[in-house]
């Protein structure tokens, strides 16, 4: 995959800080994380897949110039390159399978039925507590990965409010710092995709799944 530009300029320092925070959270879940970068104007979209959630996380950053870019790079190397308003695009890496299957750019329509942010955050907290309680109650002979996976699939596949959005998408949004108290959120749909959109980033999930769900609960905040 070619990289038509080698350097990018953020619109301001805050964009660099916010993107760095997002990359650091991805690396927290996967030290070898890769991200796909796409720019087709004065905005950069960064796609990542935190392995614990079976979703795609999307963070955008405003750029000072219009550029064309499409590359998959190491999240860790990208984070190291961001030291200010200007940064160099790292060398491309062989992308994981998910990097070739991204949500469409257009055609999204808003769905109704999404609960308030406070209610969604409470649902995540209750689900984490339920998982831990049920895990602790398992007899020693049944405390296997397969049994924990079964419990996790049951809990995190539950839908949110009157929507088809799985709870794991809300958990991912909160864990990545997207789902903050008082912020406006929306649920969008197109084709086989759902997208939870917030001012700080989006979580996209395919309705037929991305494969490989890990169910060990992560620390929320």
Q: What is the pLDDT of residues 161-210, one digit of tens each?
A: 989 999 999 999 999 999 999 999 999 999 899 999 999 999 999 987 54
Name, in order, each residue with C-beta under 8 angstroms of 39's C-beta and a sequence gap of 6 or more.
8, 45, 63, 67, 68, 69, 70
| Residue that is last in its domain, among 60, 95, 130 | 95
| Residue that is last in its domain, among 66, 95, 124 | 95
Integer Cα distance of 151 and 215 in angstroms = 8
In a domain, 23, yes or no: yes
Mean pLDDT over the full length of the chain:
89
pLDDT digits (tens, 9 = 90+) for 14-59: 999 999 999 999 999 999 999 999 998 899 999 999 987 889 999 9
Answer whether 44's CB lies under 8 Å from 69's CB.
Answer: yes
Answer whether 102's CB lies under 8 Å from 36's CB.
Answer: yes
In a domain, 129, yes or no: yes
Give yes or no: residues 115 and 201 share one domain. Answer: yes
If 0-12 CB within 10 Å is exposed, 13-18 middle and 19+ buried, where does residue 28 land? middle
Domain of residue 16: give its range. 7-95
pTM of the prediction? 0.88
Would you give the DSSP letter of residue 114? Answer: P
């Amino acid at each position: 995959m070619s990289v038509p530009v080698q350097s990018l300029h953020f619109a301001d320092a805050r964009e660099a800080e916010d993107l760095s925070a997002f990359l650091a959270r991805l690396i927290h879940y996967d030290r070898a994380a890769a991200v796909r970068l796409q720019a087709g104007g004065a905005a950069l979209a960064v796609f990542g897949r935190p392995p614990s959630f079976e979703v795609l996380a999307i963070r955008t950053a405003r750029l000072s110039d219009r550029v064309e870019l499409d590359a998959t790079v190491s999240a860790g190397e990208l984070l190291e390159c961001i030291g200010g308003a200007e940064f160099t695009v790292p060398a491309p890496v062989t992308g994981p399978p998910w990097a070739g299957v991204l949500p469409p750019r257009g055609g999204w329509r808003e769905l109704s039925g999404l609960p308030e942010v406070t209610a969604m955050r409470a649902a995540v907290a209750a689900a984490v507590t339920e998982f831990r309680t049920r895990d602790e109650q398992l007899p020693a002979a049944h405390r296997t990965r397969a049994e924990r996976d079964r419990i996790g699939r049951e809990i995190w596949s539950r839908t949110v409010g009157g929507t088809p959005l799985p709870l794991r998408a809300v958990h991912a949004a909160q864990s990545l710092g997207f789902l903050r108290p008082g912020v406006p959120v929306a649920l969008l749909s197109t084709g086989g995709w759902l997208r939870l959109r917030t001012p700080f980033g989006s979580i996209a999930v395919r309705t037929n799944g991305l494969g490989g769900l890990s169910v060990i609960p992560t620390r929320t905040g």
